[in-house]
Amino acid sequence: MREGLCHSDGTMTDRSDFLEAAGAILGPRGFTRDAELMAPWLTDWRGRFTGRALALASPATTEEVSALVRLCAAHRVPIVPQGGNSGMCGGATPDDTGEAILLSLRRMDAIRSLDASERKVVCEAGVILQSLHDAAAREGVRFPLTLGGKGSATVGGLIATNAGGTQVLRHGSMRAQVLGLEAVLADGSVFSSLTPLKKDNRGFDLKQLLIGSEGTLGIVTAATLRLVPAVAVRAVLWAGIASLEAARALLLHCEDAAGEALEGFEVLSQETLGDVISHLPSARPPLGDAHPWHALIELVADRASAERLPELAETLLTGALERGLLEDATIAANETQAEQFWALRDAIAPAERARGPAVQHDISVAVERMPSFVEEAVPLVERSWPGTHAVAFGHLGDGNVHFHVIAPPGADPLAWQAGDGKKISAQVYELVTRWGGSISAEHGIGQLKREEFARLGDPVALAMLRAVKQALDPQSLLNPGKLVPLAPMHDNP
Amino acid sequence: MREGLCHSDGTMTDRSDFLEAAGAILGPRGFTRDAELMAPWLTDWRGRFTGRALALASPATTEEVSALVRLCAAHRVPIVPQGGNSGMCGGATPDDTGEAILLSLRRMDAIRSLDASERKVVCEAGVILQSLHDAAAREGVRFPLTLGGKGSATVGGLIATNAGGTQVLRHGSMRAQVLGLEAVLADGSVFSSLTPLKKDNRGFDLKQLLIGSEGTLGIVTAATLRLVPAVAVRAVLWAGIASLEAARALLLHCEDAAGEALEGFEVLSQETLGDVISHLPSARPPLGDAHPWHALIELVADRASAERLPELAETLLTGALERGLLEDATIAANETQAEQFWALRDAIAPAERARGPAVQHDISVAVERMPSFVEEAVPLVERSWPGTHAVAFGHLGDGNVHFHVIAPPGADPLAWQAGDGKKISAQVYELVTRWGGSISAEHGIGQLKREEFARLGDPVALAMLRAVKQALDPQSLLNPGKLVPLAPMHDNP
């Protein structure tokens, strides 16, 4: 009996022809239907989404990706591209129809070239972020984007989701690192702009469309990325601050005083710091007294300006004290203490998790509005949902705060998250939308936030997204069901 | 007798209804068909293109633009948006059918808000660049993009063409300055993202589509732009260099040594310098001896780092001398001398014009390939066209060189430009395309380069441009005939 693929319009395609042809293109190492081999990639790393796939395709070259996509287009087989499978929104997990192939880019992991003096690297989509960091470090330069999942996240996935991280303040998100791009489009054609031109005004910039498109417009196969000088020395500062408003003023002061040396500016409240200290047995608060808010500030310098950094850090703090922008501050005396300061920041998420089940929101508003947003949102949520505890911390310099709401003591985790938790999220997203902010600052939309995006997104922007998607992927084969409900009929069932 | 609009499909629309409704939307100050009032805007400033228009519309608000575009969409009246009418490629000049309305944004010239501490300004599309500079300066900050046409160029036009200028090396082109955007789309709907979010991952970044789209996808009505600290002091250096290759090495040295202080790096040959000196009676060469190439380097500092700049400039030059990157160098002793150095650079274009008729090319290749490109292109062109003289100068740091080819002595200007000149341009564009470069680094495509773009552009990129255009402007009413021949049938007549 031959297997068949049912399309939504009722027609049926024979898929044994497709499978045979795909296997011929990719060879045994590049194509499998073995359930055991496929299983690890059919559930996202947080275990929130599980899907099924027709097959797992692992092409080794751009030409193989192109040939495969051409074949999929002819047979109308949907494609779910996947990098490290460490996204936050289920954007790389297929649906449960089993109609799509899972297209892993992990075998395409070559660094094609790295030129330290020209400060750029050409690498394939499957290169893991940590490998890129290592390769850059070996040549005395650095790739200026990092995040928690660096051991699994791939260059292709980082581009498809326009990933952020802890260095956005100075270096920008992934979009700012992409100098050139190669991608396979829905018809199998290859868009290539790997040779970076600093100036090129032949129409609107097509690579910008692919960055952040979550695999819905094309499959990134390679990129040219920028590199920056290696960090020679850093100064890590901890400041106690009277309010978030003061923290914002302190940030502006740091930008004025330190300019490009300012690489990180993270904020947390006294209460959050308390949670962290309780959670980490050996941790001590950096400052003697309590302060309503705390800021962790990192300044870095390359070799050329290393000598000047300690003085810069001192001047910065003295100026801030004189202007009344902080209550107390200290500079890490050595690299060990600097690591201890960062360990406090990195322990916020586990410390909050230890307090109980929570719903988490990766949201942003305009940088200067973040203090007033937090001041409104925290009591509003806590008042609306008695017993909950709202926590805001994170990248004040990017207007991006991780906003966690912890369940009332004793709540059943699963029931609370599916019930009140969901309603709380809806409230938070409505609030941030009213403030002109984003319901997804860093993590993307994927399938996790697709419905909320459809509900709360600007209708004009949604119509533009749909029109561009329809234009570039008329059969809707690229990562269907992700990012935005594309057919308007889905909005009005 | 009622007037009629003929469509390409043979149907006819009554346009008196349209004109009456448009007049009602815009009022007498905002709508005219007076030939004398329209005339100045129907020819581009260089006098290369002249068109006709049904009327000149000058809306005063985004709402008026929206209502007008909605009306145009209903009556299928094409729209040619125009800012300062100082573009280089005829992108704001209507065709000669007289069917389109000319939509001037010049009345929308309000600076809605300017926040020096938050470093951003919200301004309407018609704000003239010089006015923006002045407004920023009054608040002690600066808008970091400038160019020759700053007295006429508008914010909307700068965004629509992704304008460059002399500060791209450090600050990037217009794309890098746009934090938020408001635009009217082809159906009259208003896309608005004026509240800048530093992090926002709700799908691909739609505003990137409008930047550089030359009015073919939407009409920019307002923008939020970034500001930077004012320049407190600058150091202007002049260096004599053995080769363009050495100039490239010197540029990398400057980037290492000066980092963000490096704001300009312009190159010219000894021969070009000679032309300039002959052209400017009072000018003197900055260095005593002749050198094959010269570089004009500008370092700037804001108040916070002003003190350090003179030492930085000295260290930079000492280091470059030690490494053999330059043959001789001098630092402008004062602001007068700094102006004299820049006057030499600014006189290149008039000096070359004085030598005779020329064809000019605004091209780019990858920054590191520019030296070898110039070394190949100059003798190739001069050999192919005996008696011509090829000159390359400009923004080495951006990989963008202005490549001028001067006619043989005694050539008839018009006949030569239309004949050999055109063939030379085709050759230059073919060459730069083979080098993976761009036939338009800064100026855009407009109508001037549309056919060459269609001939030499990557077919995959052209297909993407066409698909997006068709999706967002299905009636092809926005700036028809600009940027790219959109209907494939135009390619194969």
My answer on whether A23 and A78 are in the same domain is yes
- Contact assessment for residue A253 and residue A323, using Cβ atoms and an 8 Å cutoff: yes
Same domain? For B70 and B16 the reply is yes
Phi (first) and psi of residue B385, to 5 degrees: -130, 80
Give the lowest-confidence range in A278-282, B56-60, B75-79, B328-332. A278-282
Chain B partners of A214 at a C-beta cutoff of 8 Å?
203
Rounded CA gap, B474 and A372, in Å?
A: 43
Q: How far apart are CA B470 and CA A157, in angstroms?
A: 29
Residue A440 lies in a domain: no
Given a cut of 50, whether residue A88 has pLDDT beyond it is yes
**Rg over CA atoms, chain A:** 24
Cβ neighbours of B114 (radius 10 Å): 20
Smallest CA–CA distance from A474 into chain B, residue: B467
**What's the CATH number where B295 sits?**
3.30.70.2190
Interface test with B, best of A147, A198, A226 (most B CBs within 10 A): A198
Backbone angles phi, psi at B297, to 5 degrees: -120, 130
Q: How confident is the model at residue B178 (pLDDT cuts 50, 70, 90)?
A: very high
* Cβ–Cβ under 8 Å, residues A286 and A344: yes
Positions of E strands within A131-177: 141-142
pLDDT at B37 over 80: yes
Inter-CA distances, B33 with B29, B52, B55, B100, B107, Å: 11, 11, 5, 12, 17
How distant is the Cα of B351 from the closest Cα of chain A, in angstroms? 25
Task: Convert A173-186 into a string of H (helix), E (strand) and C (coil).
Answer: CHHHHEEEEEEEEC
Contact indicator for B116, B140 with CB cutoff of 8 Å: yes
Q: What is the pLDDT of residue B202?
A: 93
Looking only at the bridges linking them, the beta strands covering A101-104 and A79-82 are parallel
CATH of the domain at B86: 3.30.43.10
A442 within a domain of the structure (yes/no)? no
Domain match, A131 and A225 both: yes
Q: Is the Cβ of B30 closer than 8 Å to some Cβ of chain A?
A: no
Whether B381 contacts B428, CB under 8 Å? yes
What DSSP string describes A191-203? EE--S--S---SS
Helix, coil or strand: residue A132: helix
Together in a domain, A335 and A255: yes
Is B9's pLDDT higher than 60? no
- Is A14 a residue whose pLDDT tops 80? no
Residues A17-27, mean pLDDT to the nearest whole number: 97
Task: Tell me, yes or no, if B252 comes closer than 8 A to chain A by beta carbon.
Answer: yes
For residues A20 and A78, membership in a common domain is answered with yes
Q: What tokens were used for A250? A: 């302190």
- Collapsed DSSP state (helix, strand, coil) of residue A389: strand
Residue A336: partners with Cβ closer than 8 Å, 6 or more residues away: none
Q: Is B323's Cβ below 8 Å from some Cβ in A?
A: no
Whether residue B472 and residue A472 make contact (CB cut-off 8 A), yes or no, is no
* CB-based contact, B374 to chain A, within 8 Å: no
Q: Are residues A94 and A126 in the same domain?
A: no
Structure tokens at B8: 């390409």
Query: Is pLDDT at B1 greater than 50 in this prediction?
Result: no
- For residue A307, list chain B residues with Cβ-Cβ distance below 8 A: none
**SS (HEC) of A312-360:** HHHHHHHHHHHCCCCCEEEECCCHHHHHHHHHHHHCHHHHHHHHCCEEE
**Is A445 part of any domain?**
no
Band (B490; pLDDT cuts 50, 70, 90):
very low
CA-closest candidate to residue A45, choices A162, A151, A121, A179: A151
CA distance A138 to A116: 10
Phi, psi of A362 (to 5 degrees): -100, 90
Partnered with residue B358 across adjacent β-strands are: B406
pLDDT digits (tens, 9 = 90+) for B120-166: 999 999 999 999 999 999 999 999 999 888 999 999 999 999 999 87
With pLDDT > 90 as the criterion, what percentage of chain A qualifies? 81
The pLDDT of residue A8 is 55
Distance from CA of B27 to the nearest CA of A (A): 28
Q: Closest to B483 (Cβ–Cβ): which among A203, A205, A436? A: A203
Assess whether pLDDT exceeds 60 at residue A9. no
pLDDT at A4: 56
Cβ contact, residue pair A201, B472, below 8 Å: no
Among A202, A211, A302, the residue with its CB nearest the CB of B204 is A211
Q: In this structure, what CATH number is given to the domain that contains residue B377?
A: 3.30.70.2740
Label residue A310 exposed, middle or buried (CB < 10 Å: 0-12, 13-18, 19+).
middle
**B48 or A159, greater pLDDT:** A159
Provide the percentage of residues in chain B whose pLDDT is more than 70: 96
Q: How far is CA A474 from the centre of its chain?
A: 27
Number of domains in chain B: 5
The pLDDT score that the predictor gives to residue B493 is 33
CATH number at residue A187: 3.30.465.10
Q: Which pLDDT does position A43 carry in this prediction?
A: 96
Q: What is the mean pLDDT of chain B?
A: 92
- Do the chains contact at A367 and B118, CB–CB below 8 Å? yes
Q: What is the pLDDT of residues B215-263, one digit of tens each?
A: 999 999 999 999 998 999 999 999 999 999 999 999 989 988 888 889 9
Do A241 and A310 sit in the same domain of this protein?
A: yes
Q: In sequence order, what DSSP letters do the residues of B395-456 get, joined into one string?
A: EGGGTEEEEEEEPPTT--HHHHIIIIIHHHHHHHHHHHHHTT-BS-SSS--TTTSHHHHHHH
Question: In this predicted model, what pLDDT tens digit does every residue of A289-330 receive, in sequence order?
Answer: 999 999 999 999 988 788 889 999 999 999 999 999 999 999
Q: B39 vs B35, B56, B66, CA distance in Å?
A: 6, 10, 25
Q: Tell me the residue range of the domain where A312 lies.
A: 233-348
Q: Sign of the CA dihedral B477, B480, B483, B488?
A: positive
Whether A490 shows a pLDDT value over 70: the answer reads no
Nearest C-alpha neighbor of B234 from the set B166, B327, B139, B134:
B166
Spatial distance between the Cα atoms of A482 and A444, rounded to a whole number of angstroms: 10
Averaged over B5-32, what is the pLDDT? 82
Considering only alpha carbons, which residue of chain A is nearest residue B443?
A: A201
Say yes or no to pLDDT of A217 above 70: yes
* Residues forming a β-bridge with A133: none
Non-local CB neighbours of B376 within 8 Å, separated by 6+ positions: B431
Q: How confident is the model at residue A6 (pLDDT cuts 50, 70, 90)?
A: low
Taking CB atoms and an 8 Å limit, are A464 and B304 in contact across chains?
A: no
For testing contact with chain B, the best of A174, A195, A201 (most B CBs within 10 A): A201
Contact flag B203-A445 (C-beta cutoff 8 Å): yes
User: Max Cα separation, chain B?
Assistant: 82
By C-alpha distance, the chain B residue nearest A484 is B203
Dihedral over alpha carbons B240, B242, B244, B247 (to 10 degrees): -50
Q: Which of A228, A138, A110, A215 is nearest to A177 (CA)?
A: A228
Q: Does B319 touch chain A (CB under 8 A)?
A: no
**Domain boundary residue among B348, B373, B394?**
B348
> With left for phi above 0 and alpha for psi between -120 and 50, is residue A230 left, alpha or beta?
beta
Domain boundary among A182, A197, A229: A229
Question: Does some domain include residue A323?
Answer: yes
Would you call A130 helix, strand, or coil by DSSP? helix
A197 interaction partners in chain B (CB closer than 8 Å) = 364-366, 399, 437-438, 441
A169/A219 same-domain check: yes
B15: its two tokens: 């346009």
Are B222 and B239 contained in the same domain? no
Query: Which 3 state secondary structure label does DSSP give A15?
Result: helix
pLDDT surpasses 50 at A169: yes
In a domain, A441, yes or no: no
B303 band by pLDDT with thresholds 50, 70 and 90? confident
Residue A311 and residue A248 share a domain: yes
Q: How close B314 gets to chain A, by Cα (Å)?
A: 14
Q: Is residue A443 a part of any domain in this protein? A: no
Put the strands of the sheet holding A328-331 in their side by side order.
Answer: A328-331, A233-241, A293-301, A262-269, A389-395, A400-406, A358-364
pLDDT the model gives residue B368: 87
Å from B101 to nearest chain A CA?
A: 23
User: Residue B218's pLDDT is what?
Assistant: 98
Say yes or no: B388 contacts chain A, CB-CB below 8 A: no
Chain B residues in contact with A483 by the CB 8 A cut-off are 203
Mean pLDDT for B92-117 is 97
Closest CA to B473 of B163, B244, B279, B209: B209
Percent share of chain A, pLDDT over 70: 96
Is residue B142 located within the same domain as residue B203?
Answer: yes
Q: Which string of b and e fits B359-384 if b means at least 16 CB within 10 Å?
A: bbbbbbbbbbbbbebbeebbeebeee
Between positions 43 and 102 of B, the ones with CB within 8 A of A are none
CB-based contact, A475 to chain B, within 8 Å: no
Q: Please give the structure tokens belonging to residue B301.
A: 């500092």
On average, the pLDDT of chain A sits at 92
Residues 146-205 of B with CB under 8 A from A: 161-162, 164, 168, 173, 175, 185, 189-193, 195-205
Q: Helix or strand or coil: residue B310?
A: helix
**Interface subset of B 99-118, CB within 8 angstroms of A:** 115, 117-118
A454 contacts in B (CB within 8 Å)? none
ipTM of the complex: 0.92
pLDDT of residue A2: 45
Residue B322 covered by a domain: yes
Q: What is the CA radius of gyration of chain B?
A: 24
Cβ–Cβ gap B364/A197 under 8 Å: yes
**A224 inside domain:** yes
Domain identity same for A237 and A342 = yes
- Cα nearest neighbour of B484 on chain A: A203
Mean pLDDT of A84-113: 96
**Considering CB atoms only, which of A190, A438, A461 is closest to B206?**
A461
> What pLDDT is stored for residue B3 in this prediction?
54
A212 and B201: CB-CB below 8 Å? yes
Alpha-carbon span B96 to B492, nearest angstrom: 22
Please report the pLDDT score of residue A492 as a whole number.
36
Q: Which DSSP helix (H) or strand (E) runs through A443?
A: none
